[in-house]
């Protein structure tokens, strides 16, 4: 039987077909058993195409080779078992991989993500374990002067019963967005696996917007404050109260931790050292260090026992090849805390200012939290 579409339906179908590009059978990225990866992009009119990945030295993309069919390609050396960001540059235009649906959003442009698996499961892999839920809350903030979102991980089983849970506040880096810790960092999968393996206490993870003032601005908001200052106000005056009021949260600073990467590590230092009564643990990953730490937190440095009693866990990490925040500078700062009598643990990873370091950091930090 022949089916005849109504004119309106036929018009809509033709419109949709016109809007959707024809599928490209190109495979990119292609991960090989030896952990090398082949990247490809179809750009027959381009004259120069390069690939940049987070495993490369900063600012040194690699040229790709063009085939007769207009496809540019390159195969890497074996990569670390982890997730890696990459993007192409076509005659000066930086783009994400057009045929890879796994995208990491950023404040400016986007990048693609490739997962390089290992022989054994990694903490951030998708496993057959009970999974938590990731939700997004939108709310008007009087402190920020705008409606802003916060991404929240609720542990497996949260929707059942009336148990209360401790909370980890986890902040992204500069240029990132609130979704970055789940989309690129796989924070939800890391917690799923740690909880299933009984290596971490079931907890809520709150991932707020770290750019309290617009990205790229140095100051803003009421009183022309810095991003660190406004984020502190947002946390202390609004966000903690909102989470405590809406979700089943175990009360008190002993059931609350703060952590972050890069800019978020700076937020963790600034807010955490300013309010030791609010947090029992600080996770400081590849942090942007406040320039005035010694003077701003002189009372903490002068009375370390009081701070240690309230915040017994200060955990600091950095990649040994991190030229962004300068690994030797972070290590020296951590050593200065030791000399002042502040109890801290410093962990060095092989890597740069990249997500492999931060995935590992969260995987090692989370099991330390909320131990009874």
Please compute the mean of the pLDDT values over residues 261-290 and round it to a whole number. 97
- On whether the CB atoms of residues 355 and 85 are closer than 8 A, the answer is yes
* Residue 137: strand pairing partners: 150
- Would you tell me how many other CB atoms lie within 10 Å of the CB of residue 346? 17
pLDDT of residue 222: 62
Residue 16 in this model has a pLDDT that exceeds 60: no
The answer on pLDDT for 101 being more than 80 is yes
Q: Is 236 exposed, middle or buried (0-12, 13-18, 19+ CB in 10 A)?
A: middle
How high is the mean pLDDT of the chain? 93
Provide the β-strand partners of residue 165: 249
pLDDT of residue 77: 97
Distance of CA 357 to the CA centre of its chain: 11
Q: Average pLDDT for residues 207-212, to the nearest whole number? A: 94
- Quote the pLDDT of residue 23: 72
Residue 6, pLDDT score = 54
> What is the pLDDT averaged over residues 224-250?
95
CA distance 303 to 341: 8
- Tokens 């290596």 appear where? 199
- The three-point CA angle 343-265-127 to 5° equals 95
pTM across the whole model: 0.91
Burial class (CB in 10 A: 0-12, 13-18, 19+), 254: middle
DSSP 298: H
Neighbours of 214 (CB within 10 A): 11
Instruction: Check pLDDT > 50 for residue 357.
Output: yes
| Residue range(s) of every CATH 2.60.40.10 domain in the chain | 26-116
108 or 11, greater pLDDT: 108
- Find the mean pLDDT for residues 320-349: 96
Q: How far apart are CA 150 and CA 136, in angstroms?
A: 6
Looking at residue 80, the DSSP 8-state letter turns out to be P
Rounded to an integer, what distance in angstroms lies between the CA atom of residue 46 and that of residue 314? Answer: 50
Q: Residue 2: its pLDDT value, please?
A: 44
Phi, psi of 253, rounded to the nearest 5 degrees: -60, -30
Higher pLDDT, 215 or 239: 239
pLDDT digits (tens, 9 = 90+) for 144-182: 999 999 999 999 999 998 999 999 999 999 989 999 999
Question: Which residue, among 261, 368, 365, has the nearest Cα to 319 in the 3D structure?
Answer: 261
The length of the chain is: 372
Question: Quick one: pLDDT at residue 8?
Answer: 53
The superfamily in CATH containing domain 133-368 is Alpha/Beta hydrolase fold, catalytic domain (3.40.50.1820)
Identify the CATH homologous superfamily for domain 26-116: Immunoglobulins (2.60.40.10)
Asked whether the predicted pLDDT for residue 7 surpasses 50, the reply is: yes
Q: Can you give the pLDDT at residue 15?
A: 54
With contact defined as beta carbons under 8 Å apart, do 333 and 339 qualify?
Answer: no
Q: Where in the chain is the domain with CATH 3.40.50.1820?
A: 133-368
Cβ(53)–Cβ(76) under 8 Å? yes
Question: What value does the mean pLDDT take over residues 338-345?
Answer: 96
Percentage of residues in the chain having pLDDT higher than 70: 92
């Amino acid at each position: 039987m022949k089916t005849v579409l109504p004119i309106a339906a036929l018009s809509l179908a033709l419109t949709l077909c016109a809007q959707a590009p024809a599928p490209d059978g190109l495979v990119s990225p292609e991960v090989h058993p030896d952990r090398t990866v082949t990247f490809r992009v179809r750009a027959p009119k381009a004259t120069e195409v390069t690939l940049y990945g987070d495993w490369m030295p900063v600012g040194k993309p690699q040229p790709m080779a063009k085939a007769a069919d207009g496809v540019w390609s390159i195969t890497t050396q074996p990569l670390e078992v982890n997730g890696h960001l990459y993007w192409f540059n076509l005659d000066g235009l930086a783009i994400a991989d057009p045929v890879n649906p796994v995208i990491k959003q950023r404040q400016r442009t986007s990048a693609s993500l490739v997962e390089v698996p290992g022989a054994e499961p990694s903490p951030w892999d998708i496993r057959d374990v009970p999974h938590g839920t990731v939700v997004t809350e939108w709310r008007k903030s009087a402190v920020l002067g705008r409606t802003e979102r916060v991404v929240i991980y609720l542990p497996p089983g949260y929707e059942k019963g009336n148990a209360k849970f401790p909370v980890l506040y986890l902040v992204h880096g500069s240029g990132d967005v609130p979704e970055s810790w789940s989309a690129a960092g796989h924070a939800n999968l890391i917690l799923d696996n740690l909880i299933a393996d009984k290596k971490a206490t079931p907890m809520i993870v709150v991932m707020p917007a770290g750019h309290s003032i617009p990205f790229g601005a140095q100051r803003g908001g009421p009183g022309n404050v810095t991003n660190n200052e406004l984020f502190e106000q947002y946390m202390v005056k609004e966000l903690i109260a909102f989470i405590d009021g809406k979700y089943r949260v175990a009360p008190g600073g002993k059931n609350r931790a703060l952590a972050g990467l890069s800019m978020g590590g700076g937020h963790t230092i600034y807010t955490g050292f300013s309010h030791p009564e609010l947090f029992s643990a600080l996770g400081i990953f590849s942090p942007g260090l406040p320039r005035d730490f010694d003077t701003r937190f002189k009372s903490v440095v002068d009375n370390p026992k009081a701070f240690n009693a309230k915040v017994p866990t200060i955990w600091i990490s950095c990649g040994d090849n991190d030229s962004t925040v300068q690994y030797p500078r972070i290590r020296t700062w951590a050593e200065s805390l030791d000399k002042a009598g502040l109890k801290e643990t410093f962990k060095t990873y092989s890597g740069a200012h990249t997500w492999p370091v931060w995935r590992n950091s969260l995987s090692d930090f989370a099991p330390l939290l909320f131990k009874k």
